[in-house]
Amino acid sequence: MKSIWKGLIGLFVLLLGFALWLAGSIFEGIAGGLAGESFLLTRGALGIGFLLIFFGPIFFWIFLPLKDRWYESHPKRFIIAITPFVIFLLLIFGVAISGIVHEPQLPEYSFNATLADAKIVVEINRITEGDLPDSLNIKLTDLDGKQADFDYVSNEDLKDGKERVELNFAYFGAPKIGNYTLVIKNIRDEIIYQRSFEITPKVVILGEKIKVGDFLFNFESFRVSDTYKYYKADPGYKFIVIEAKAKNEGIKKQSLNVGEVKLEVDKGYQYEPYSYYSLSFDSLRPEEETTDEIVFEILEDTEPIKLSAEIGNINVVLILE
């Protein structure tokens, strides 16, 4: 009868160990997968469950039956027989304790962020695998703290240990001039990488050619006039006419977008294009080159010093002094 009770108690301890181990595994998996966290309570349940799985059968099904049979008549045999089981249980106890004490770590990374035209290219390398799954939130903010672009890298994306991400300073056209901040956070919302980038305009002079995407672009010349086509400047004002040229060096028909354009004069005043006379380079075929003009009406006693323009995805400043 005693043997039956010992067997049942051993079975109960075994099942209790399985229950604790299973519950700890489930909650630890949820916490690790959703938030990259590991809790002492769940690690404790895992460790104790792991220990009980071995302790129950060994103690109640092996140790106690051997004690009842051999201890009084053959104590030395009993000690020799149980020594391996005791050592094994001690090892299991050590494994369980180390699992409880050790806090699982997230993977470690190295990052290389570089500027490429109007975007940032981020090369991600996972240095260590870590104990928990991880994901990365990558955000680029502009000088006003507003989000310019965002990307998410899952643990699955980093299965091979490498990932490449591209973030744009602006969804369309040229980005704002100023400082941008790249921030990378892990699944715990901890900042693991941060770097600032400064967007500065491309300064050019008349005739200087620049590459804008698939286009070759330059400002050709500028002239001063009292009239432009059918228009005459208002009294006390004059026209500034700036000529620009663009050539499509790509392999398909495409347009070169021209965004905001402003002319600054020596008195600090800024002028927008006169009427609808701004630059337009639409639907240029491969190798096609075209010229267009932009017109400003400024005070007669002022002189133009620079033109600021968004050409494609580049901020350009033309020096006119």
State the distance between the two ends of the chain, measured CA to CA, in whole angstroms: 108
Is pLDDT at 238 greater than 70 in this prediction? yes
CB burial of 140-171 (b: ≥16 within 10 Å; e: otherwise) equals: bbbeeeeebbebebebebbeeeebebebebbe
17 in Cβ contact with 59 (< 8 Å): no
Is pLDDT at 177 greater than 90 in this prediction? no
306 in Cβ contact with 270 (< 8 Å): no
Give the pLDDT confidence of 119-134 residue by residue, as tens digits: 899 999 998 887 677 8
For the chain, the average pLDDT equals 82
pLDDT of amino acid 66: 62
Residues 6+ apart with CB under 8 A from 3: 65
Element (H, E) at 31: helix 2-35
In the numeric block, the tokens 């026209």 are attached to: 239
User: Which of the given ranges, 28-32, 52-56, 80-84, 264-268, has the highest pLDDT on average?
Assistant: 264-268
Map residue 166 onto helix, strand or coil: strand
Kindly report whether the global pTM for this prediction surpasses the value 0.75: no
Two tokens, residue 16: 């209790």
The arithmetic mean of pLDDT across residues 178-195, rounded, is 90
Residue type, 133: P
280 in Cβ contact with 294 (< 8 Å): no
